[in-house]
Structure 1
Amino acid sequence: MASSYKYEPLPKNSIRFIELDPDLKDGKPQLKVLSCARDEAPEYISMSYCWGQDPESESIFLDDLPFAVRPNLFQLLLHLRYHRREYTEWRYFWIDAICIDQSNTAEKTEQVSRMETTYRNASTIAAWLGVPPAERNQERTGRDHISELSSPSLVDEIFTSVYWSRMWIVQELILAKNIVLLYGHLRLPWKGMSGVLQAWSTFGKSRWRHSATINLVNMTVGAAYTQEHGRALGELMRYLEHSEATDPRDRVFALLGLVEGEEREVLGTIFPDYEMSHEKVMLVTMAYLKQIYAPRPFKWVVKPQQVWSEKVFGLDKETWEKMWSETEGYETPHDLTNYSSVWNAKGIGKLLKPGQAGETFRGQKEELKRQRRKWFELRVDALRKLASESSR
């Protein structure tokens, strides 16, 4: 289904929002689009949902012009009108499929690089689980439907929703100030629901205990730590190897807002870049993981090929093995290989001499900083060289 709506260019450091009209037009949702500088953004709700594999077979109206969307987003917008009546403060919404011009690679790359800020600044993340097989309590008023979770059948529907397998939701929910789940006409505040789900996973069906839902609930328990310090990319990729993304490059890009400081600095010089192919993104990621976790002097200690399998990168085994070999030669010296030249025995001896300890320590510290900066530059150069030399 073709779209007649044409995007206006979005200035750098700007963002788009939508306003949802409470009335339908020809049975279809109608929305207004507005853009503004990020530092002038109004309070807004960020919608978290699963794109799905269905084609863009439905249409809505953007500024009175037809705009093609996937079925799940169409249902989200139909039901969002109902929830907006209950949440009167919900006026502006951010929805990636609409607020980012998906056909504009440059804009998409710039907006994805700012995704962490988009999620952090949203007043609420509203997670859309889809439409239940049979709608419940369509006319019920009030905001809290937690009591509905006494139904095992409803809990089973929530636990098995494909929503929880989506890669992007990890960043969305961990960085959120406030979360509410929308399931058809039901509204389930996360603060009350997460505890109920953990209880059901303990005392309910055994398969719920190891579900993607509980994995994410457990990750949000440590959300405050992740927001402040971040996590290692390798750790996140291993933990989420069964998660899915409509664009396979997002197996890495969707995690950038969660990685720790120095890793983010290195990776941010290369990613996100939607001009790269999926295989090249994974090739560079493999090389990076080797740089950090398996430098040549320590390969006998860490064997990343036993940790990061083809599943982590979303590749078939044959392709993964070939690409793993291609990363040979792009490693850089590991930090630990240089510590002996900085924190050496002679330097430690000087620390023990009266009057020299402070000066020696400061000198050693500055040398260590210089070395780390050099390692940082070597890593970035190696990754850029691999990206430019690879024909993938």
Structure 2
Amino acid sequence: MKAIPARPHVQGCTAAIEVEPTSEQLTDGAGLAPFRAAWDRLGCGAWLDHVLGRRGHYRPSLQVEQWLALLLYGGSSMDHLPLLEKRGVQALFGWEAVVNPTTFGRFLRRTGEHGAGVLDELLLKTVRSRWDAAGRVPRVVMLMFDSTVVQRYGLKQAGAVNGYNPTKKGRPSHHPMLAFLDTGDCLGVRWRPGNANTAAGFEEWVEELVGWLRAQGVQRILVRLDKGFFKVSHIQKLLALEVDFVMKMQESNTLQRYKSPFVRSAEDPRLEVAEGRRWDVRLLSVRQCEVPPEGELDLGHVVLKHHLTVLTNIEGVDPLTAWRMYNQGAQVEHRIEEMGQLGVGRTAVDDIGGNHVLWSLGALAYQMLHLVRTTVLENGREQVKTIRALVIRTPGKLVRHARRLCLKLVDGDPLLRMLAHARDRLHWIRPVPLPVM
């Protein structure tokens, strides 16, 4: 290969660059080492093989591990699986071979809904393991639900039908629902076809998650829902579960008569508040107003924006506090955006159960990343794209010596300190117990 010409006009080294192939094993995914350590420490592979069975040459644990590594590395399609083989990731994880995209597609169809349920159970076990590593179970949590629309362009993705699609109307889509905690943990995903209602399946799922949280020792649960979940039966369900909630109400003219007149807020003069009661819960409204500037006719206040009515069963809370509690739960949108950065939902197959498995795998990949960034990294607030650029894509050299694989990094690289920190912190993570069959 011809060299890149010299640069005599620059200050410093003016030499040309020789480009040659090498037989050394290099990788640009050295930052995946902490994820491998967390996966092995949890014993996820052994748990999956025990539950799903070791069928075929490629075990279920191997296929799941490789897909999670691909999402973390930056791939989003089954056609990207060969990247793991060509860029040193295969040697880093010690795989004998990388699964073929066609074989992985068969695995998705064969595993189906049963496999999705198994992955959802493993996800919750991973959440509990992260809490154990932190040393405590949170006493108070905000449980947030939201849905997202994933549009499709082909005709062979099972469940991709015309439904609610705000960006491209009339385009087939999938419409999954996700659940997160304010701690950043993902509690799962409910895969649904594109024509499903925003809150389809909510009542059964919220009962299941509330029961699981209480079994872990959580003392108070605050459920946050946007106006897509506004339904009387949902209010009654939350009251029956005896959880606190803040739910945005749809501003219909019929429900306005249940509110008291708006009055100026003593805390913020720019805001007006009103209260009411309906369905045995409180209606707390906030709206922002503006006084006309000097020189204009005084025609009263003009409502500009932030007209919001929150339904809640929390007694004693004022409208502004309820408004802030609801807005605090908007972080669920950032968590869904992070799953998009992981490439979740960018590929689909012609099988309903297989698509559900893909979404469950995406939720598990997100939770594994959240476990590592909160347990290993000093600052657990970086988003996926930042972690991928600054940590995962760290270059390294793989050297095999005395039957051991050594990952060599540049002296002084920040990843060296992070790996030493990971070794100490991951020691406190408890392995996932094998089920009694």
TM-score (norm. length: structure 1): 0.25
Whichever structure has more strand as a proportion of its residues is 2
Structure number with greater CO (CA < 8 Å, separation at least 6) is: 2
TM-score (norm. length: structure 2): 0.23
